[in-house]
Amino acid sequence: MSNTTPGLPPYAVPFGPHANCTLDICPAQYSVYGYQASLPANVAFLSVYIIVAMLHAQLGIMTKHWWFRLFMIAGAINAMLGYTARLFMYDNPFDYTAFQMQIVCITSGSVYFSAALYFVFAETITYLSTDISPFKPQLIYLIYLPCELISLCLQAVGAGLATTTSGDTQKSINIALAGMILQVSILVTFCFLGGDYLVRYYWSNLWKRRFT
């Protein structure tokens, strides 16, 4: 079946597993994003995440707080894969495999960083005082991490469906949106609980005995 899109050769396929467009025969405006990815911007983001992964690996060796470091490193590696795929899309905006890789990795990367924050919060409660906390620190792992896993799965499934439909179907949008809404809801409750604990800690005057 020949292509009838104005400005494209009749044999050109700009998107999908059978895409054969390149910049030599198809303008970048016909790619899924409608433009050619920025090389300096994506190199900069990739470099930042490489540095983040290296720093947390070094700090993990020094401090032995491995769970926090592992989630931070996993998130950084996830982002590195995504931005590496974006670099491939700079050379060829019609690269379907690179598009799939970058949208899944970059979209879901924040889940790992959120999980790292939950470990910090739990360790903070353990370090400062568990007596004034309305819940045990272990509950943070048992409640928030499974929710983050569900959020990650929803976002990955939604992004995966979007790669096969060029993001045109409402089903893929709704699934990814559900994952993002769940993640935002989790973060909102996390911020509320964190703020509540800090207020309790302040009014308990325990900080005066620890820091003065």
pLDDT in tens, 150-196: 988 887 787 777 666 654 567 777 888 888 898 889 889 999 999 99
Judge if 82 and 18 occupy the same domain.
yes
Q: Tell whether 172 is covered by a domain.
A: yes
Query: What is the C-alpha to C-alpha distance for residues 101 and 88, in angstroms, rounded to an integer?
Result: 10
In this prediction, residue 64 has a pLDDT band, given cuts at 50, 70 and 90, of confident
Judge if 38 and 97 occupy the same domain.
yes
Q: Tell whether 59 is covered by a domain.
A: yes
Say what angle helices 137-165 and 110-128 make with each other, to 10 degrees.
Answer: 170
Residues 6+ positions from 79 with CB-CB distance below 8 Å: 45, 49, 105, 106, 109
Residues 6+ positions from 147 with CB-CB distance below 8 Å: 182, 186
Structure tokens at 6: 């104005």
Task: With a cut of 90, say whether residue 9 has pLDDT above it.
Answer: no
Judge if 13 and 47 occupy the same domain.
yes
| Domain containing residue 197 | 109-212
Judge if 113 and 168 occupy the same domain.
yes
Q: Tell whether 1 is covered by a domain.
A: no
Q: Tell whether 13 is covered by a domain.
A: yes
Q: Tell whether 150 is covered by a domain.
A: yes
pLDDT at 55: 92
Q: Tell whether 100 is covered by a domain.
A: yes
Judge if 128 and 209 occupy the same domain.
yes
Alpha helices in 109-166 (DSSP H): 110-128, 137-165
3 state DSSP class of 212? coil
| pTM > 0.85: yes or no | no
Final residue belonging to a domain, choices 70, 88, 107: 107
Judge if 102 and 159 occupy the same domain.
no
Judge if 115 and 151 occupy the same domain.
yes
Judge if 124 and 196 occupy the same domain.
yes
Cβ neighbours, 10 Å, residue 169? 13
pLDDT at 60: 80
Judge if 81 and 116 occupy the same domain.
no
Total of domains in the chain: 2
Final residue belonging to a domain, choices 81, 107, 133: 107
The residue-averaged pLDDT of 110-124 equals: 87
Residue type, 198: L
Q: Tell whether 3 is covered by a domain.
A: no
Residue located via tokens 């198809």:
26
Residues 6+ positions from 114 with CB-CB distance below 8 Å: 148, 183, 186, 187, 190
Final residue belonging to a domain, choices 54, 80, 107: 107
